Amino acid sequence: MTIDLRITPFSFRGSYLVISQVGENWCGCTNEAGLYLRTVRGAAGMPLIARITVERDGESAAFEPELHGATLVLKCGRGKAEFCFDDPETLLVRGSAGLGITLDFMSDRGAFDYIYRFSRDGRAFEMANCFKNACRCLMRVQKGEASLDQVWKEKRASRTRLTVSGKGGFLLALKEIQTEWDGEWKEFDFDGSANSAREDLSAFAARMPKVPSGYRKTAEQAAYLLWASIVHKDGFFSRDAMLMSKNWMKNVWSWDHCFNAIALSYSAPDDAWDQFMLVFDRQDPTGLLPDSINDARMVWNFCKPPIHGWALRWMMKNMELTEKQLREAYARLSRWTGWWTRCRDYDEDGLCEYNHGNDSGWDNSTVFSVQPPVAVPDLQAFLIIQMDVLSELAQRLGRKKAAQQWKRRSDSLLKRLLDDMFPDGLPKAFQSGSREPVNNHSLLTYVCAVLGEKLPEHIRKNIVNVLIGGTFRSEHGFATEALNSPDYQSDGYWRGPIWAPSTMLIADGLYRCGEKQLARDTARRFADMVSASGFAENFDAVTGAGLRDRAYTWTASAFLAMAHEYL
């Protein structure tokens, strides 16, 4: 299939290495536009490892990228340069006769970057010491010749360019080295490695949720994105982790992972469980989950909404939990729920608050146009569902008393929500303490529709009437800020664009409120938009155009789950 390397990175399941085309000064790197080998490691001071230039007769050659299975092919007239992975650390590059590639390691951007050469067992190697990227790249030309253009300057090279070519073609192997090379090196078979990678991708894709035939091409693209966005466990990642993107949103945030776990839960339960539990492995003793993690860093300044009970409820429809998993889920969700009720009810009125828009996942929503803490109906709804799930888990574990306690707590919070946050039959947010209503036109307050049948009928009708009234709904789905709001912005992050999580939560709420056809229509609009615009972080609500990071995994996962469930 064709691949736009400006949008979708080329990578491999488990790898921290990426190839993509980036623009000038990408992410503040002061670079030239071009094709780059990148790293998604959290410790990297700079994500760009080396600029890749395909050459013919010593001149830069234009190319057309295609994805053949798990192999990236750059077509240059009658020749081609091909890239595939032998394993997560090892990238192979093969070129036709007459072609060459140059790797410019941009050593002038690093304090100690350079290449040194050595031999082992009669074979020549180059080691690129990429201090700026928190890694080293060990290279060997298995076929063809290598020439090094390097200028040493005190403690680094001011220029470091390796060119590989060959009259009969070339084969270069590049291996990421984190600590020390173990000395093992095999002769690589490019076709064998490419076939093995293709089979791994095919097996992964076969475990994705089934979708209608009209969306199969989009589903294939979604499967590739999810597969290629996984990195192997390392550092703070205690399990293999599906990043949100291998562009620049290269972390796992503590609600994003839930949507990926749901998509995997249909036919890949072990992978689903790993993605769900990934952030719980780093749960604080207080019960708090980190805002985000990568292999090198955890962020605790914020948190994310407690949608984990909602997500686990969805997952349990698709996969059977073992007793060990039931116990683990019960312990982790209990601590997470306890943290919210113990640490985020500042005015002690029985309703929890968000400390910041980031805590809700809707960073700049107009709900947070006033000084937080703010009590929002969606937060109470998530906690009610989480308590219901805890009650079910306790029941299945034979803990009847605990099951009854969680049920009572759920009922009590539901009553408080209905009594205090629906003054005119519609959900409202208010400031903690003063209970001053927050004037806003955000979709966030209506996400409490996920409670479905637990809401009184008149409230369900009121919410549905607002959602279908045209204020939020465009031909592509539900805008996160009312289309007629003075604060609406077409690229305003959570002040207008359509997002995958809000769409999936609203669709689930509509379905549970009895509006099954409306839920299906919501899923269809989203699936059509994604098929046309790709798996963007978010979308212009009016045009449907993709915005921000254009290769976002929760978008692909939400597409797969909704297309399967509703279409």
The predicted-structure confidence for 76-93, as pLDDT tens digits, reads as follows: 988 999 999 999 999 999
Q: What value does the mean pLDDT take over residues 404-416?
A: 98
Which pLDDT belongs to residue 253?
98
CA distances from 46 to 9, 110, 251 (A): 17, 9, 15
Q: Where are the domains of the chain?
A: 17-182+191-199, 207-566
Alpha-carbon gap, residue 281 to 261, rounded angstroms: 15
Alpha-carbon gap, residue 112 to 458, rounded angstroms: 67
Query: In which band, very low, low, confident or very high, does the pLDDT at 59 lie, cut at 50, 70 and 90?
Result: confident
Pairing, β 477-478 against β 156-165: unpaired
Instruction: Give the burial class of 163: count Cβ atoms within 10 A of its Cβ; 0-12 exposed, 13-18 middle, 19 or more buried.
Output: middle
pLDDT, tens only, 325-362: 999 999 999 999 999 999 999 999 999 999 999 999 99
pLDDT, tens only, 486-535: 999 999 999 999 999 999 999 999 999 999 999 999 999 999 999 999 99
Alpha-carbon gap, residue 355 to 357, rounded angstroms: 7
% of the chain with per-residue pLDDT over 90:
93
Contact 83, 71 (CB under 8 A): yes
Which pLDDT belongs to residue 436?
95
- Name the token pair of 323: 């007793």
Which pLDDT belongs to residue 111?
87
Helices (H), 81-147: none
Instruction: Report domain 207-566's class.
Output: mainly alpha
% of the chain with per-residue pLDDT over 70:
100
Alpha-carbon gap, residue 376 to 438, rounded angstroms: 9
Which pLDDT belongs to residue 143?
97
Report DSSP state, residue 201: H
Domains 17-182+191-199 and 207-566 share a fold: no
Pick the CATH number of 17-182+191-199 from 2.70.98.10, 2.30.30.140, 3.20.20.80, 3.30.565.10: 2.70.98.10
- Residue 108 pLDDT exceeds 90: no
Calculate the average pLDDT of the chain.
96
Alpha-carbon gap, residue 304 to 299, rounded angstroms: 11
3-state DSSP assignment of residue 196 = helix
For residues 111-134, b (16+ Cβ closer than 10 Å) or e, as one string? eebbbeeeeeeeeebbbbbbbbbb
Q: What value does the mean pLDDT take over residues 233-245?
A: 98
Cis, peptide link before residue 373, omega less than 30° from 0: yes
Query: In which band, very low, low, confident or very high, does the pLDDT at 380 lie, cut at 50, 70 and 90?
Result: very high
Alpha-carbon gap, residue 551 to 229, rounded angstroms: 9
Which pLDDT belongs to residue 105?
95
pLDDT, tens only, 10-50: 999 999 999 999 999 999 898 999 999 999 999 999 999 99
**Can you say how many angstroms the Cα of residue 357 is from the centroid of all Cα atoms in its chain?**
19
Among 403, 407, 340, residue whose Cα is nearest residue 376: 340
- The pTM of this model reads 0.97
- Residue 249 pLDDT exceeds 90: yes
